[in-house]
């Protein structure tokens, strides 16, 4: 029996999506695996920055004399600029050139990191963080677009996106370890300066190895769309970031609705534009939409898991920053092992099964962590939950990027890549806001019924962490039915002209 009849999938040679066409890059880049290594290094740099800076912040605050509000802005400003400019960065990569955008984004990120590492005042550090966000908004979609056009189909595409997905899922935990090492044995400044040697290596390798690719035909920029989506995404990120002051804060009540209105206007403008910043056909595809929703819910849960896990390890269990980073490594190791194994079986299992089971396993890990206690041990109460989360995240992240970018025309590779990253960025912002509010409410309720002793204070913290873990588990659990009912791609969408495999 032929493979197509056995799996129920016909070996179609051209993608069936309305927005699909042959990718302009060669199907077999002669040094595509070196290209993957370069792109993976860039992705690791961006992902690391999300957690490594958090480790450095307490030390930077003391050194520069920052207020608590300024310390919050070190994180918020980066997320604000990054989230606001992602879609524009994706279109610049498409039109200006993905290799050129990658190199400029990497170099700019390194320069901004240098300025931040050498900052002598709060405003210098804040300015550097804003610049990091700007160049990351160019670097991230350019990196993912390079993978999309250089791995257009076949098993190689699955392997490439498996590596990319593993880094997306496990890189944050690596940042905790690296941040702990640099802060404890060097200086908080090296948590920023470490990006410089990484960038030098990536750029030196990219110049001879990566071939330029860019969109042809209509390459006019959609200026009204760019302005609306930048202001809309920026308003959403800022509004959710301010929710830590309470959902009734005026910034929340103004900027979240404003962001929704601006994004609605953006959709209206895009629907009428003949050169849209983000072609709506990218979002209208049911399979791709399911992947986007899954990415949003997973991004929110992952941030909630790592943020409050770090607090529990350091505040309740008394771990040092380095020890808490090392304690999170089992999750990263599980993701890496899981990604390696799954990439081999994915052509036979299909993407629907792991993307449905993955959220359930991550949710199980978070529910397990929601049972932590003040006197509990790491091995009994934390480690099993981390292993479950790692296994589930591998099941999600290995196929996620591939599914989200299936059937994308080369002309729109940067825009679609930016949309994938933007969804996860917004998910992280929403998760941070929602889980922080739930944590704060649980702590306040516990303190109100406590006796004010140090043990009661720790118990209040644990009650807050339990609430955050539980609701993060509920959030990611919802991704399972989304994947089951929406993520049903055809083989031709994911593998192009490669032999048909069971991917539905």
* pLDDT of amino acid 126: 93
Q: How many CA atoms lie within 13 A of 136 on its CB side?
A: 28
Cα radius of gyration rounded to whole Å, the chain: 22
* pLDDT of amino acid 364: 97
Interatomic CA distance for residues 260 and 21, integer angstroms: 32
CB 423 within 8 Å of CB 290: no
Interatomic CA distance for residues 332 and 171, integer angstroms: 7
CB 171 within 8 Å of CB 47: yes
* pLDDT of amino acid 233: 87
410: DSSP letter: G
* pLDDT of amino acid 28: 58
CB 359 within 8 Å of CB 132: no
Q: How many CA atoms lie within 13 A of 155 on its CB side?
A: 10
- Per-residue pLDDT tens for 172-226? 778 888 888 888 888 999 999 999 999 999 999 999 999 998 888 778 889 999 9
- Residue 168: which region, alpha, beta or left (left: phi > 0; alpha: psi -120 to 50)? alpha
Q: First CA to last CA across the chain, in angstroms? A: 19
Distance of CA 217 to the CA centre of its chain: 31
| Residues sharing a CB contact under 8 Å with residue 92, sequence separation 6 or more, in sequence order | 101, 138, 414
Which H, E and C letters describe 293-358, residue by residue?
HHHHHHHHHHHHHHHHHHHHHHHHCCCCHHHHHHHCHHHHHHHHHHHHHHHHHHHHHCCHHHHHHH
Interhelix angle 98-117/195-209, rounded to 10 degrees, is 160
Helix (H, G, I), strand (E, B) or coil at 371: coil
* pLDDT of amino acid 386: 95
Cα dihedral sign for 406, 410, 414, 419? negative
Instruction: Give the Å distances, CA to CA, from 258 to 88, 242, 454.
Output: 20, 14, 42
What pTM value is reported for the model?
Answer: 0.81
243: DSSP letter: G
* pLDDT of amino acid 246: 79
* pLDDT of amino acid 494: 52
For the chain, residues with pLDDT lower than 50 are 1-27, 496-504
């Amino acid at each position: 029996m032929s493979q197509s009849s056995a799996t129920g999938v016909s070996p179609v040679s051209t993608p069936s999506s309305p927005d699909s066409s042959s990718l302009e890059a060669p199907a077999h880049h002669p040094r595509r695996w070196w290209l993957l290594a370069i792109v993976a290094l860039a992705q690791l740099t961006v992902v690391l920055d999300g957690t490594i800076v958090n480790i450095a912040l307490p030390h930077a605050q003391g050194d520069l004399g920052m207020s608590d509000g300024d310390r919050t802005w070190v994180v918020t400003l980066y997320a604000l600029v990054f989230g606001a400019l992602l879609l524009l960065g994706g279109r610049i990569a498409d039109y200006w050139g993905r290799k050129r955008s990658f190199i400029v984004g990497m170099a700019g990120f390194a320069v901004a990191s240098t300025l931040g590492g050498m900052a002598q005042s709060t405003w210098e550090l804040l300015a550097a963080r804003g610049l990091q966000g700007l160049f990351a908004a160019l670097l991230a979609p350019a990196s993912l677009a390079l993978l999309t056009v250089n791995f257009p189909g076949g098993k190689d595409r699955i392997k490439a996106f498996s590596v990319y997905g593993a880094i997306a899922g496990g890189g944050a935990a690596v940042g905790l370890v690296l941040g702990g090492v640099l802060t404890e044995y060097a200086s908080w400044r090296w948590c920023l300066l470490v990006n410089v040697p990484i960038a030098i290596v990536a750029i030196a390798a990219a110049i001879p190895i990566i071939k330029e690719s860019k969109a042809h035909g209509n390459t006019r920029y959609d200026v009204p769309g760019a302005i609306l989506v930048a202001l809309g995404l920026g308003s959403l990120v800022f509004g959710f970031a301010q929710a830590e002051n309470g959902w009734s804060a005026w910034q929340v009540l103004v900027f979240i609705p404003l962001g929704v209105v601006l994004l609605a206007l953006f959709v209206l403008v895009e629907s009428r534009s003949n050169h849209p910043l983000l072609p709506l056909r990218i979002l209208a595809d049911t399979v791709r939409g399911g992947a986007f929703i899954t990415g949003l819910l997973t991004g929110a849960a992952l941030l909630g898991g790592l943020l409050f896990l770090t607090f529990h390890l350091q505040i309740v269990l008394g771990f040092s920053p380095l020890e808490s980073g090392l304690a999170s490594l089992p999750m990263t190791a599980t993701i890496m092992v899981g990604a390696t194994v799954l990439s081999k079986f994915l052509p036979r299992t299909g993407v629907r099964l792991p993307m449905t089971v993955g959220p359930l396993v991550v949710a199980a890990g978070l529910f397990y962590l929601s049972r932590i206690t003040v006197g509990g041990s790491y091995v009994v109460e934390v480690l099993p939950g981390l292993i479950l989360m790692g296994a589930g995240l591998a099941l999600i992240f290995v196929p996620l990027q591939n599914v989200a970018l299936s059937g994308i025309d080369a002309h729109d590779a940067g825009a679609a890549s930016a949309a994938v990253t933007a969804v996860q960025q917004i998910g992280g912002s929403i998760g941070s806001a929602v889980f922080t509010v739930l944590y704060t409410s649980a702590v306040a309720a516990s303190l109100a019924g406590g006796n004010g002793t140090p043990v009661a204070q720790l118990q209040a913290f644990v009650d807050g962490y339990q609430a955050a873990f539980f609701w993060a588990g509920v959030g990611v659990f919802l991704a399972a039915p989304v994947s089951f009912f929406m993520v049903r791609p055809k083989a031709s969408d994911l593998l192009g002209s490669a032999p048909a495999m069971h991917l539905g």
